Structure 1
Amino acid sequence: MNHVSSNRDGPHAGLSVLVVEDETLVAINLESILEDLGHTVIGPVMRLDELETMVDGGVEADLAILDINLAGAEVFPQAERLSGAGMPIVFTTGYGAKGLTGNWSEFPVIQKPYTADDIAEYLSRLKASEPVSVGS
């Protein structure tokens, strides 16, 4: 496993990141990666109804990292609401960019399984406003 050392004073330190992931170990790993990079994690949110409640309540974050499939249900309706409210979104999926269709195909994707380096690379590209598709 690749490890990124703590970078609390780095160029993207201090982001609040909404994490939506239904696989417990993956969610814990992502939370740890983000915290090691100096960010605050909102969640992880593991169920679609929980995400809907948070969106209804006006959840605020600098960025949302969304697993596409939560227990067999797609996250796109809530992603549309978050994106419409101006929240930047990145999707995670084992299918990579091929897992997105229609208007969603223009959104960034981090392919599972990902590493701490993949997440750090995404955040660097986000800051530089470069197109992002991370993973093999």
Structure 2
Amino acid sequence: MRLFGRKKRQLVRLLVVEDEPLVAFDTEHVLTDAEFEVVATVDRVSKAVALIEGDSAIDLVLADVRLADGSGLDVARAARNRDIPVLFLTGTLPPEADGLAEGVLMKPYGPRDLLGAIAAVEEKRTGKAPSRLPSGFRLFAGA
């Protein structure tokens, strides 16, 4: 269904995993302004994995790779086991990340790039080639 030319989103309920408070706040603000539902914003691997493995309905995980209590790669592995796509938002990307996520948006990034990266992941998940890739964003072939 389209309302005023906008198609219905498939990725609506998002989990934000970020241990830098200002980045987490800004990300949540951008997402809620763009009418996404932020299921939770957490700063620990253990909290993220508990939400993923619990009853929370999550459409997409946005995760930093370096977290205070471990690695976002562990969050991505848990999400992958539940067939939940992951978008890494990070400044440092280890080589093994590309088999665990849909893509990466390198820090620092702006609001338009974040929303564009989510849109590109959604297009990829629906079988379409993304029309435009934001600056600092890369889709992975493997995930």
TM-score norm. by structure 1 comes to 0.78
1:65 maps to what in 2?
62
Q: Measure, in 1, the Cα distance between the counterparts of 2:11 and 2:74.
A: 28
Please tell me the root mean square deviation across aligned C-alpha atoms, in Å. 2.4
**Kindly tell me: are residues 83 and 134 of structure 1, through their superposed partners in 2, closer, same or farther at Cα, counting changes over 3 Å?**
farther
Q: Measure, in 2, the Cα distance between the counterparts of 1:70 and 1:44.
A: 13
Q: CA deviation at 1:51?
A: 1.8
Q: Which ranges of 4 or more aligned residues in structure 1 deviate by more than 4 Å?
A: 131-134
Cα offsets for 1:2-56 (capped at 9, x unmatched)? xxxxxxx843387010100001100000001111111000221111222232234
Matched pairs, number: 124
Higher relative contact order (CA 8 A, sep 6+): 1
1:55 maps to what in 2?
52
Identity of aligned residues (%): 27
Query: Do residues 43 (structure 1) and 40 (structure 2) align?
Result: yes
**Kindly tell me: are residues 116 and 133 of structure 1, through their superposed partners in 2, closer, same or farther at Cα, counting changes over 3 Å?**
closer
Q: Which amino acid in the other structure matches residue 78 of structure 2?
A: R
2:140 maps to what in 1?
none
Q: Measure, in 1, the Cα distance between the counterparts of 2:49 and 2:121.
A: 26
Query: Do residues 87 (structure 1) and 80 (structure 2) align?
Result: no
- Structure 1 unpaired stretches of 5+: 1-8
**Kindly tell me: are residues 122 and 68 of structure 1, through their superposed partners in 2, closer, same or farther at Cα, counting changes over 3 Å?**
same
